[in-house]
Amino acid sequence: MDESLFEFLKEDKFREYLGAEIIEAEEGYARVEGIVREEFTNFHGTAHGSFIIAMADFALAIAANSDNIRRFAATIKMDFFKPAYVGEKIVAESRKTGGGRKLTFYENQVLKDDEVIAKGDAIAYGKIEIIEK
């Protein structure tokens, strides 16, 4: 992935709010991590599904834009298998599985201690270059 593109994607304001860190990014793939904070929990005391999806969505944003095409999520579907609790680190991955320039398809998963706690699919749409070359 182009370094200027990587720096552009790192400046995401929602990433800052989530406290997410980019662990790995290459064309068509991204891995990010974050810690479950108290404000990200539901009334059960577990990580809210919206936090888990937000982490997956951030990984998707990087993977989908990694080839310098401005893409936006059109669909994200996520199934939840296990909880995460305050103080635990979760890792979200997004991997391109197909598509072309306008529509691209991804598999997303969220892990805790190398165990899948959520998994799903996404579709991204776009056609405009992010950074003019």
* DSSP conformation class of 46: B
Q: What are phi and psi of 27, to 5 degrees?
A: -60, 120
What is the structure's pLDDT at 3? 76
Mean pLDDT of all residues in 23-44: 96
What is the structure's pLDDT at 131? 65
Burial 48-57 (b: 16+ CB within 10 A, else e): beebbbbbbb
Mean pLDDT of all residues in 49-64: 96
Q: What is the largest CA-CA distance in the chain?
A: 49
What is the structure's pLDDT at 1? 67
Is residue 8 over pLDDT 90?
Answer: no
What is the structure's pLDDT at 7? 77
Tell me how far apart the alpha carbons of residues 131 and 72 are, in angstroms, rounded to a whole number: 15
The domain in which residue 26 lies consists of 3-129
Burial 102-133 (b: 16+ CB within 10 A, else e): eebbbebbbbbeeeebbbbebbbbbeeebeee
Note the pTM of the prediction, 2 decimals: 0.91
Report the relative pairing of strands 69-80 and 89-99 from DSSP bridges: unpaired
What is the structure's pLDDT at 4? 76
* DSSP conformation class of 36: P
CATH code of the domain containing 52:
3.10.129.10
Domain tally, the chain: 1
- In percent, the amount of the chain with pLDDT more than 70 equals 97
